[in-house]
């Protein structure tokens, strides 16, 4: 199968593209610069920026599947310019991808979203049937998914993957947290009761391939562990895995001072479960946070 990939050189993209190549697929990977990248029998790098229409769109027409992983990182202090980049890198880029799709049968678009789609629900258990929230990230995710779903008008099968926070080596949230915890500056935020919805990266890749291989599946899927944890339990598990102490809570005001608006997503959290995957009988290899952290830090 020929697959067009955006975000294929990132933290998740590198793992996923390797898995797709191992299954014998031919990949076209969109990148802003080809410097330092070499084409191979399995990979052709295409230079372009998905926010802007360009020649890169022509390669989509040669493919059977688009994997859309593109998106500006949300893990930074927000201002209006950053929020604009976060939105455009998801919404506008996905619009340009869909506009390039061929109108043919058996085409699939699998487009990334996030559990931020649901907004904040405190202790309520959230599955794929829940409506979108009304905060900034929820509005971005809603518009992001709306653009992807327009591919159905061209006859494509559309899959939406709503990620939790990804636990893995070499990137994601741990890249930021590990240095803080090693300096004994980490700990639960506030009372630590807010929920943390996460996914181990190998289970994420496994879920991706499972959904892609099941031709009858479409629509939204929560790509999260079936066992979300409270912030205090996550902090304890990370500290134990690192062999450090993390007993002192971080005041909410300090997090807000450091992160601004983005801080609310650490302070409040969400309790999301992958109901559709569980109903299908999908088996998670690493369903518990302590095991995931030990694997990453081994």
pLDDT exceeds 80 at position 260 = no
Sequence-distant (≥ 6) Cβ neighbours of residue 224 within 8 angstroms: 115, 162, 163, 164, 197, 198, 199, 272, 273, 274
What confidence score (pLDDT) does residue 167 get? 93
What confidence score (pLDDT) does residue 172 get? 77
Considering the entire predicted model, what is its pTM?
0.92
What confidence score (pLDDT) does residue 188 get? 83
pLDDT exceeds 80 at position 267 = no
What confidence score (pLDDT) does residue 246 get? 74
Q: Domain for residue 178, yes or no?
A: no
Q: Domain for residue 240, yes or no?
A: no
Q: Domain for residue 61, yes or no?
A: yes
Q: Domain for residue 157, yes or no?
A: yes
Which band of pLDDT confidence, cut at 50, 70 and 90, is reported for residue 253? Answer: low
Identify the CATH number of the domain in which residue 125 sits.
Answer: 3.40.50.720
Burial (CB count <10 Å: 0-12, 13-18, 19+), residue 95? buried
Query: What is the number of structural domains in the chain?
Result: 1
188/223: higher pLDDT: 223
Please state the rounded mean pLDDT for residues 229-253. Answer: 84
Q: Domain for residue 251, yes or no?
A: no
Q: Domain for residue 292, yes or no?
A: no
Question: How far is residue 244's CA from residue 146's CA, in Å, rounded to a whole number?
Answer: 44
Please state the rounded mean pLDDT for residues 18-25. Answer: 96
Which band of pLDDT confidence, cut at 50, 70 and 90, is reported for residue 180? Answer: confident
Please state the rounded mean pLDDT for residues 188-198. Answer: 89
Rounded to the nearest integer, the mean pLDDT of the chain is 91
Tens-place pLDDT, residues 39-91? 999 999 999 999 999 999 999 999 999 999 999 888 778 889 999 999 999 99
Picking from 129-133, 147-151, 258-262, which range would have the lowest pLDDT averaged per residue?
Answer: 258-262
Highest mean predicted confidence (pLDDT) among 163-172, 209-218, 261-270: 209-218
Q: Domain for residue 146, yes or no?
A: yes
pLDDT exceeds 90 at position 262 = no
Tens-place pLDDT, residues 198-227? 999 999 999 999 999 998 999 999 999 999
What confidence score (pLDDT) does residue 137 get? 93
Q: Domain for residue 183, yes or no?
A: no
Residue pair 46/6 in contact by the 8 Å Cβ criterion: no
DSSP-derived secondary structure for the chain = -EEEEESTTSHHHHHHHHHHHHTT-EEEEEES--TT----SSEEEEE--TTS--THHHHHTT-SEEEE-----S-S---HHHHHHHHIIIIIHHHHHHHH----TT-EEEEEEEGGGG---TT-EE-TTSPP-SSHHHHHHHHHHHHHHGGGGGT-EEEEEEE-EEE-TTSHHHHHHHHHHHTT----BTTS-SEE-EEEHHHHHHHHHHHHH-TT--EEEEES-S--EEHHHHHHHHHHHHT----SPBPHHHHHHHHGGGGHHHHTB-EE--HHHHHTT---S--SHHHHHHHHH-
What confidence score (pLDDT) does residue 164 get? 93
Tens-place pLDDT, residues 91-128? 999 999 999 998 877 899 999 999 999 999 889 999 99
Question: How far is residue 4's CA from residue 138's CA, in Å, rounded to a whole number?
Answer: 27
pLDDT exceeds 80 at position 21 = yes
What confidence score (pLDDT) does residue 48 get? 96
Q: Which residues span the domain enclosing 19?
A: 2-168+197-225
pLDDT exceeds 90 at position 176 = no
């Amino acid at each position: 199968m020929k697959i067009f990939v955006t975000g294929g050189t990132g933290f998740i993209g590198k793992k996923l593209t390797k898995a797709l190549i191992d299954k014998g697929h031919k990949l076209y990977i969109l990148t802003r610069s080809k410097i330092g990248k070499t084409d191979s029998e399995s990979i052709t790098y295409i230079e372009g920026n998905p926010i802007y229409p360009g020649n890169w769109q022509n390669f989509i027409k040669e493919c059977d599947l688009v994997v859309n992983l593109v998106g500006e990182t949300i893990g930074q202090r927000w201002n209006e310019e950053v929020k604009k980049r976060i939105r455009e890198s998801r919404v506008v880029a996905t619009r340009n991808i869909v506009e390039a799709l061929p109108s043919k049968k058996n085409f699939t678009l699998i487009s990334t979203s996030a559990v931020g789609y649901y907004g904040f629900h405190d202790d309520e258990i959230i599955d794929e049937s829940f409506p979108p929230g009304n905060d900034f990230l929820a509005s971005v995710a809603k518009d992001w998914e709306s653009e992807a779903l327009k591919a159905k008008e061209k006859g494509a099968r559309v899959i939406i993957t709503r990620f939790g926070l990804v636990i893995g080596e070499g990137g994601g949230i741990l890249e930021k947290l590990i240095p803080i915890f090693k300096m004994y500056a980490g700990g639960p935020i506030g009372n630590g009761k807010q929920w943390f919805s996460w996914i181990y990266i190998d289970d994420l890749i496994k879920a991706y391939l499972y959904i892609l291989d099941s031709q009858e599946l479409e629509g939204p899927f929560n790509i999260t562990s079936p066992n979300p944890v409270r912030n205090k339990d996550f902090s304890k598990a990370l500290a134990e895995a690192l062999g450090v102490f993390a007993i002192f809570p971080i005041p909410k005001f300090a997090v807000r001072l450091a992160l601004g608006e983005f801080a609310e997503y650490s302070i409040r959290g969400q309790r999301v479960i992958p109901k559709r995957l569980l109903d299908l009988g999908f088996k998670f290899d690493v369903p518990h946070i302590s095991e995931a952290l030990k694997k990453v830090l081994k």
